[in-house]
Amino acid sequence: MTTLALVAPLGVPLVAAGVSMWLRHHRTAQRTITVLVLLDGLVAGVRLVLATDGATVATAVGNWPDGLAIVFAADRFTALMVTVAAGMALLAVTFAIARGEDDHDLFHPAVAVLVGGVSAAFLTADLFNLFVAFEVMLMASYLLLTLRGGREQVRAGAVYVTVNLLASTVFLFGVGLTYAAVGTVNLGELAALPSRAPTATIGVGLVMLAAGVKASLVPLHGWLPRAYVHAGPAVTALFSGLLTKAGVVVLYRLASVVMDGAPAARPWWLFIAMATMVIGVLGAVGRGDVRGILSFHMVSQVGYLILPLGIWTVAGTTAGIVYLVQYIFVKGALFIAGGTAETLAGTGRLAELGGMLRTRPAVAMAFLFPALALAGLPPSSGFVGKFLLVLAAFDAGALVAGDVAVVVSLFTLLSMVKIWNGVFWGEPSERVAREPAATRFAIAVPAGGAGDEEPAPGPRPAPLHRGRVLAMCGPALLVGVATIALGIGASWLIGLAEPAALSLHEPATYIEAVLQP
Amino acid sequence: MIPALIVGTLAAGGTYLILQRGLVRVALGFVLLGHAATTLLLTAGGLTTREIPFVGADGPTPEMADPLPQAFALTAIVISFAITAFLLTLAFRGRDVLGHDDVEAELEPDEESP
């Protein structure tokens, strides 16, 4: 039973990817499979969440003896992340289907592989399997990024692939050095490594460096805004929810289990968190296209997510997990709403957009509430997350970091207002009024954040049906409602996150479960 | 000592190549780096025990090689093979759509909006 529950979140998507590949000429069948798989992932995740209240479930696949078996383990933190990943993927895939972006034989198999790889990265309790899970996930993401094979995709793909491949190689070096030093890569056996085998921390340090590249920490962030804007809008939404967050989750896990909270590294984590927040948000202020701004914000928000590593109190980690869970949906929703606007107008350049509040009020609403949550305004869930985080930072004496987090929130609000003014406010611009790309967007997906479709000459095409627009931005509307609900009923989310934070701070149960699955 | 030199030389060559502009050279650089990592993994298992890592009827022997790094290396080789293939495909596609594999070159003015 436990084995099935733990292996299903990665096994089902991988098998489904194969079936989906086989049915590649039947789009409806592929769509059904992907949606069913993600619903299954959601159910499996919720069941894990229910099973991990203060406990850790673990399994050794195939009943091999200790040290040889592949161990998968889930505590509350893992279970929450598996659930959130499946949920976000479901929203992004709904958007992709409504938008017609999945009109490629390999789209659905790649999404399934991506979800399987991400779940495996969350669940594995072994450094080498973590490497394999990352590779599975990245391979699918390389494919999704370059699916359309245009000039911009090749250029963005080259940057993305080389940077991530270099990080993976560093990761592999780290795994090798760790094994050479202590003869194991099982997370349970690596517990509290700095006090037992100081040299082995070099290997784990390299692994954390590689995870830092995937999480896009400053100064390792340059690839993200360059690559993500050139993927399709739905793919960007999917990546934003799953990829960088997997890096963050691995950093949390390694800091907790292996590095014992890393007391010596805490000032450095605070410094990196602050640099990431500030540089990300300044980059966003300088961009003039919807997804460019949102991509830089992804960098900035990672700063908030790793702030708990510098604080390292239970309150701080709880705040970090609350923030992480709601932020994944919020950022995905923003990409979905922005992507819908981009799809309709055929461009993401703010200068050519405007007035969409009048022509498509649903899209404006879909953007508004997640934007408020990202900036951290009450009564959204983003406010709760940021408030708890800043409070924990002040309580732990990290005064500067807390102040920086507040100031960066103001700049976040500034760039959300910039998108709002550029896309939704004012008189409808030429492109917004004509919606040139709307009639043929299923085939010609606007390229990148700096979209490039000229308004089609000739008579004005029939406007896109409201139902379809609603289907595209529906996931974002749903998230908007949820952020407000979670902002008001935040104690429920905090109650879910607290056992997760406790499990990270006192990893004894996790370690024991991993050692004796 | 010798494995360290091998890993170092491979890593140095790989690093030089991935700092080049052309995507094919970058791909070759990653091949070298991948070999460096694989060699490191194998070295991590110890080089003094070289018997085949099969547990016979008499149980494990002292000369038996550590099977785990071999499994690691095998997996890493498969993965780096797949990614090398992907990078080369990307370079090939780059030649089609850009006319060269120097993906960092500025786009020609008429290429700005594909």
Output the pLDDT for position A450.
37
Say how far apart CA A341 and CA A365 lie, in whole Å.
12
The answer to whether the beta carbons of residues A58 and A67 sit under 8 Å apart is: no
CB contact under 8 A, B113 and A452: yes
3-state SS class at A198? coil
pTM for this prediction: 0.92
3-state SS class at A184? coil
Rounded CA Rg of chain A: 22
- Chain B residues whose beta carbon lies within 8 Å of the beta carbon of residue A177: 40, 44
CB contact under 8 A, B103 and A139: no
Print the SS3 string covering A361-429: HHHHHHHHHHHHHHHCCCCCHHHHHHHHHHHHHHHCCCHHHHHHHHHHHHHHHHHHHHHHHHHHCCCCC
- Chain A residues whose beta carbon lies within 8 Å of the beta carbon of residue B36: 173
The answer to whether the beta carbons of residues A403 and A312 sit under 8 Å apart is: no
CB contact under 8 A, B107 and A151: yes
Say how far apart CA A3 and CA A59 lie, in whole Å.
5
CB contact under 8 A, B97 and A180: no
Q: Residue for token digits 């894990």? A: A48
DSSP codes joined into one string, B58-83: TB--TTBPPHHHHHHHHHHHHHHHHH
- Distance in Å, alpha carbon of B95 to nearest chain A alpha carbon: 10
The answer to whether the beta carbons of residues A477 and A317 sit under 8 Å apart is: no
A50 within some domain:
yes
Using one digit for the tens of pLDDT, what is the confidence trace for A400-442?
Answer: 999 999 999 999 999 999 999 999 988 888 778 777 655 444 4
Residues shown for chain A = 517
A451 within some domain:
no
CB contact under 8 A, A177 and B111: no
A321 within some domain:
yes
The one-character DSSP state at A124 is B
Which residue in A249, A449, A212 sits closest to A345, CA to CA? A449
Say how far apart CA A180 and CA A174 lie, in whole Å.
10
DSSP codes joined into one string, A291-333: HHHHHHHHHHHHHHHHHHHHH-SHHHHHHHHHHHHHHHHHHHH
Low-confidence ranges of chain A (pLDDT < 70): 1, 66-67, 436-463
Backbone angles phi, psi at B65, to 5 degrees: -70, 155
CA-nearest residue of chain A to B111?
Answer: A151
The one-character DSSP state at B111 is G
The 10 Å CB-count burial string (b at 16+, else e) for A10-31 is bebbbebbeebbebeeebeebb
Q: In this complex, which of A149, A150, A165 lies closest to B83 when CB atoms are compared?
A: A165
- Chain A residues whose beta carbon lies within 8 Å of the beta carbon of residue B114: 150-152, 447, 452
ipTM of this complex: 0.91
CA-nearest residue of chain A to B20?
Answer: A162
Check pLDDT > 50 for residue B12. Answer: yes
Domain of residue A406 covers 2-443+466-515
- Distance in Å, alpha carbon of A191 to nearest chain B alpha carbon: 20
Output the pLDDT for position A451.
41
Q: Which residues, at least 6 apart from A91, have a Cβ–Cβ distance to it below 8 Å?
A: A237, A241, A329, A332, A333, A336, A475, A476, A478, A479
- Distance in Å, alpha carbon of A460 to nearest chain B alpha carbon: 23
Any bridge partners for residue A73, and if so which? Answer: A58
B24 at interface of A, judged by CB pairs closer than 8 A: no
- Chain A residues whose beta carbon lies within 8 Å of the beta carbon of residue B30: 162, 165-166, 169
- Chain A residues whose beta carbon lies within 8 Å of the beta carbon of residue B104: 155, 158
A261's tokens: 């909270």
Residues 30-59 of B with CB under 8 A from A: 30, 33-34, 36-37, 40-41, 43-45
Q: In this complex, which of B79, B87, B94 lies closest to A135 when CB atoms are compared?
A: B79
A146's tokens: 């370059």
- Distance in Å, alpha carbon of B113 to nearest chain A alpha carbon: 6
Output the pLDDT for position A40.
94
CA-nearest residue of chain B to A181?
Answer: B44
A448 within some domain:
no
A460 within some domain:
no
- Chain B residues whose beta carbon lies within 8 Å of the beta carbon of residue A152: 114
Check pLDDT > 70 for residue B60. Answer: yes
Residues 59-88 of B with CB under 8 A from A: 68-69, 72, 75-76, 79, 82-83, 86-87
3-state SS class at A112? helix
- Distance in Å, alpha carbon of B23 to nearest chain A alpha carbon: 7
Which residue in B110, B42, B97 sits closest to B74, CA to CA? B42
Mutation pick from B19, B32, B86, B101 vs chain A, by most beta carbons of A within 10 Å, is: B86
The answer to whether the beta carbons of residues A464 and A340 sit under 8 Å apart is: no
Using one digit for the tens of pLDDT, what is the confidence trace for A302-312?
Answer: 999 999 999 99
CB contact under 8 A, A179 and B79: no
Domain count, chain A: 1
Q: In this complex, which of B37, B79, B98 lies closest to A154 when CB atoms are compared?
A: B98
A116-120's contacts with Cβ under 8 Å and 24+ in sequence apart are A116/A9, A116/A10, A116/A11, A116/A12, A116/A13, A116/A14, A116/A17, A117/A10, A118/A85, A118/A242, A118/A243, A118/A246, A119/A9, A119/A10, A119/A13, A119/A41, A119/A82, A119/A85, A119/A86, A120/A9, A120/A10
Output the pLDDT for position A437.
56
CB contact under 8 A, A158 and B93: no
The one-character DSSP state at A506 is S
Output the pLDDT for position B113.
43
Output the pLDDT for position A229.
87
Cis amide leading into A379 (omega within 30)? yes
Output the pLDDT for position A150.
78
Check pLDDT > 50 for residue B112. Answer: no
CB contact under 8 A, A177 and B44: yes
CB contact under 8 A, B76 and A159: no
A453 within some domain:
no
Could you give the domains of chain B? 2-54+61-107 (1.10.287.3510)
Which residue in A296, A300, A294 sits closest to A275, CA to CA? A300
Which residue in A103, A141, A331, A116 sits closest to A227, CA to CA? A141
Average pLDDT of every residue of chain B: 84
CB contact under 8 A, B72 and A162: no
3-state SS class at A126? strand
* B63-70: average pLDDT: 85
